Structure 1
Amino acid sequence: MTTKKARGTWRSALVLGATAGLAAVGAVTAVSAQAAAGCRVDYQVASSWAGGFNGDVTITNLGDAVNGWKLTWTFTAGQQVTQAWNATIPAGTSNITATNVSYNAAIPTNGTVNFGFSGTQNGNNPVPTNFALNGTACTGGVTPTTGAPTTAPPPTTAPPTTPPPSGVPYANSPDGFAGAAGTTGGAGGTTVTVTNQADLERYASASAAYVIRVDAAITVSPYGKEIPVKSNKTIVGVGRNGQIVNGGFFLGEGTSNVIIRNLTIRDTRVASDDPDDKDFDYDGIQMDTANKIWIDHNQIVRMNDGLIDSRKDTTSLTVSWNVLAEGNKSFGIGWTTNVTARITIHHNWIHHTNSRNPSTDNVAYAHLYNNYLQSVTGYGNYSRGYTKMVLENSYFESVKDPFYKDDTAELRQSGSIVTGSSGKQQTGGSAFNPSSFYSYTLHPASQVPSLVKTYAGPQAAIGS
């Protein structure tokens, strides 16, 4: 399989039909007036996989303020939307109408609104070009307009989430247990940019400190190889350019002070090993007795074994703002009888996975917060062995056994939302107080899906 990190972008000026008002029930009615109107639409294919993709759309209002909007376009290759966030989009059609939700109806002059969606595609996924806002097609300029009132239907369902806060919500330095331990990666070392496997391996395995910028899709050979990473390294994708294809990373015993950030790591599946992934250990990131590790803003998908494996007392680990998807085994933690590890897991979007989401075995302090688990068929957050787990303000949607524990483990939960899910929701024990180790900010669980769909995974602003 292949993943296309396409960045198809369509920018244009749209003539707005009119200034609009939002009625209390959600219907949008445009008012006939002489109004300066215009808009730019930025459309991006944020990620792609066999049969599907995620799209990201930003509207910039160049004219008078708008209160209530519909954006329409047509997919010319049969693509269809299956779900959306920050907008309402009916499924099952290639003629798309995206309607504002209650919290983003107003777009001031020079203001923006952003929404995203997941869709289906058959391998041909051209960028649409026929955008129209409130019924008026794009014309290439800001012009006075008049027009008859138009009416848009209200959303058919209430939005399940609330909007994320304004501004970038993530930190650009390690937090959680990795931050508390003083993780700095390759800071202070030489900065290099790599575009091939030989250079990546040479710098990643060096004894000196390096900041390694990955500015290309690097296909790893032999298939499934986990590139060794030594201490005092930062490996960061340049914008959304950095990809590790058909391979992953390995952090062995004694490896310390490593940052892996803003990369897409993908595609080591072996068809003959489905569905158990027992014969080929081709992980996205494997850590054995490592410490002071920050794994942040990566997209890790379709690996033959674990997307992430934290093994053999790996500690002072923070895993944040990642997309972990399309895997049989998402995130395994344990492979030890010791109970010493300290791990923070927050703001990750884990979707379309089976087991280990994560499976957390014999971890002294496991702090999980503001994660979004979606379409999980095996089990969700599992506190195993003698783990003490604190679970806060996460969002579980269509998850089997959202959270539960062994009799010997502890799990304290607060503030999470569970919807469309079934099975175990077990708690017990006082666990521990994360704020005694580090400071952190909790977002309301209702904001988590929008937050991680917008900000998890590789970001254009990181590593550039």
Structure 2
Amino acid sequence: MSRTIPTRRWWLPAALAAAVCGSLLGITPGQEGAHAAAPAAADAPEGFASTEGGTTGGAAGETVTVTTFEELDRYATASEPYVIRVAAAIEADPFGHEIRVASDKTIVGVGTEGEIVGGGFFLNEVSNVIIRNLTIRDTRMSDDDPGDDGYDYDGIQMDGADHVWIDHNRIERMNDGLIDSREDTTNLTVSWNILSEGNKSFGIGWTDNVTARITIHHNWVRDTNSRNPSIDNVGMAHLYNNHLQDTGSGNWSRGSSNTVIENSYFENVEDPYYKDADASLVESGSIVVDSDGRQETGGTAFDPGAHYSYTLDPAGDVPALLQGGAGPQAGIGT
């Protein structure tokens, strides 16, 4: 295992940093701007993970580089903060194991080298965690389990977590959820990921409370069946600039959720966006092509720009942006 000597960094709260960068670039909350190419990956989250002090992961601790499952598990479960660079394709042992990530951790793939094969991560009642630039794949079982009910092998599962940023990952072919955000997990941003080739893509809820605050932006969800995402009892769910392609369902606002969808692109999607009777769903600026079924809005929602600064890309630009910019990137973690 190799180590790097930690260097001193100066950190601004994420919300302040976003405001300063936006000012320098002439960006205002909710402003639309076309990009000729996929933008460079941000160093801090946009969305609810940037609020209430922000999400810095293991920035206060040592940086280590791991190439084995034992090393990854040791540092990810430690009580101290760490930035953990994953520099190899690491096979989970035992198969299907979800590493119990502790608070104050950054787990980041080195360029496109970092993979978790046959396992995933579990964030249980922890806070301040960043998972970036990884490929998490292949817990799908060969036996007959069409509903993915026989094996609870998630890509990333969160129960009661707070301040989490899931960014630029590729999560595919898992035997349960690609991402599950459960039991009031809040101040969560899920951005620039590719979620593909799964039955259950992204489930949110498992609670009677309506308190969670979640931002989901610039994700490419393709070749999945259900939960794209399924948003149950979320106090504020902000979805923008996502591309759903060849999916068996769309964005579902369930229970008493309050959902805002902006400038997304729905392509060959069954029921692109829809709501339960007691839920709110407000949509604007999206494009729907080659899709059938429900496109439902109703109720009143919230103003995301009152909580954080963000930039909307035109919906028509989203597929090209995500083809180049979603998933693991060579320039992250190096």
Alignment TM-score > 0.5, same fold: yes
- The answer to whether 1:239 aligns with 2:111 is yes
**CA distance in 1 between partners of 2:147 and 2:210 (Å):** 28
Which amino acid is 1:226 matched to?
E
1:161-180 equivalences under 5 Å are 164-166=35-37, 168-180=39-51
1:324-339 equivalences under 5 Å are 324-339=195-210
Among candidates 212, 227, 244, match of residue 356 of structure 1: 227
Q: 1:273, 1:279 within 8 Å by CA — same for their partners in 2?
A: no
Which amino acid is 2:97 matched to?
K
- The answer to whether 1:206 aligns with 2:78 is yes
Which amino acid is 2:323 matched to?
K
Which residue does 1:258 correspond to in 2? 129
SS at match of 2:293: coil
Which residue does 1:416 correspond to in 2? 286
**CA distance in 2 between partners of 1:167 and 1:317 (Å):** 23
Which residue does 2:94 correspond to in 1? 222
1:321-362 Cα deviation digits (max 9, x unpaired) = 000000000000000001110000000000000000000000
TM-score normalised to the size of structure 1? 0.64
Which amino acid is 2:264 matched to?
S
Q: 1:273, 1:280 within 8 Å by CA — same for their partners in 2?
A: no
**CA distance in 1 between partners of 2:191 and 2:255 (Å):** 24
Which residue does 1:455 correspond to in 2? 325
Which residue does 2:316 correspond to in 1? 446
Which residue does 1:402 correspond to in 2? 272
- State the 1:163 CA deviation: 7.6
- State the 1:221 CA deviation: 1.2
1:137-158 Cα deviation digits (max 9, x unpaired) = xxxxxxxxxxxxxxxxxxxxxx
- State the 1:275 CA deviation: 1.3
Among candidates 297, 301, 315, match of residue 168 of structure 2: 297
Which amino acid is 1:268 matched to?
T
Q: 1:278, 1:305 within 8 Å by CA — same for their partners in 2?
A: yes
Which amino acid is 1:353 matched to?
T
- State the 1:442 CA deviation: 0.1
Which residue does 1:127 correspond to in 2? none
Which amino acid is 2:60 matched to?
G
- State the 1:246 CA deviation: 0.2
**CA distance in 1 between partners of 2:77 and 2:36 (Å):** 40
**CA distance in 2 between partners of 1:257 and 1:417 (Å):** 34
Which residue does 2:299 correspond to in 1? 429
SS at match of 2:79: coil
Which residue does 1:312 correspond to in 2? 183
**CA distance in 1 between partners of 2:83 and 2:118 (Å):** 23
Q: 1:354, 1:376 within 8 Å by CA — same for their partners in 2?
A: yes
Which residue does 1:374 correspond to in 2? 245
Q: 2:256, 2:278 within 8 Å by CA — same for their partners in 1?
A: yes
Which amino acid is 1:413 matched to?
E
SS at match of 1:446: helix
- The answer to whether 1:271 aligns with 2:142 is yes
Q: 1:305, 1:329 within 8 Å by CA — same for their partners in 2?
A: yes
Q: Structure 1, unaligned stretches of length 5 or more?
A: 1-161
Q: 1:249, 1:284 within 8 Å by CA — same for their partners in 2?
A: yes
- State the 1:273 CA deviation: 4.2
1:272-287 equivalences under 5 Å are 272-287=143-158
Among candidates 189, 199, 202, match of residue 61 of structure 2: 189
Q: 1:299, 1:458 within 8 Å by CA — same for their partners in 2?
A: yes
**CA distance in 1 between partners of 2:195 and 2:38 (Å):** 24
Which amino acid is 2:200 matched to?
K
Q: 1:357, 1:381 within 8 Å by CA — same for their partners in 2?
A: yes
Among candidates 117, 121, 124, match of residue 249 of structure 1: 121
Which amino acid is 1:286 matched to?
Q
Which amino acid is 1:240 matched to?
T
1:152-186 Cα deviation digits (max 9, x unpaired) = xxxxxxxxxx9843462542211200011311000
SS at match of 2:308: coil
1:132-171 equivalences under 5 Å are 164-166=35-37, 168-171=39-42
**CA distance in 1 between partners of 2:143 and 2:199 (Å):** 14
1:63-142 equivalences under 5 Å are none
- State the 1:251 CA deviation: 0.4
Q: 1:164, 1:450 within 8 Å by CA — same for their partners in 2?
A: no
Runs of 4+ in 1 over 4 A off after TM superposition: none
Q: 1:316, 1:342 within 8 Å by CA — same for their partners in 2?
A: yes
Which amino acid is 2:184 matched to?
D
- State the 1:383 CA deviation: 0.1
Which amino acid is 2:193 matched to?
N
Q: 2:255, 2:276 within 8 Å by CA — same for their partners in 1?
A: yes
TM-score normalised to the size of structure 2? 0.89
Count matched residues.
301
Q: 2:38, 2:324 within 8 Å by CA — same for their partners in 1?
A: no
SS at match of 1:173: coil
**CA distance in 2 between partners of 1:405 and 1:271 (Å):** 34
SS at match of 1:317: strand
**CA distance in 2 between partners of 1:433 and 1:384 (Å):** 19
Q: 1:192, 1:210 within 8 Å by CA — same for their partners in 2?
A: yes
**CA distance in 1 between partners of 2:197 and 2:128 (Å):** 29
Which amino acid is 1:438 matched to?
Y
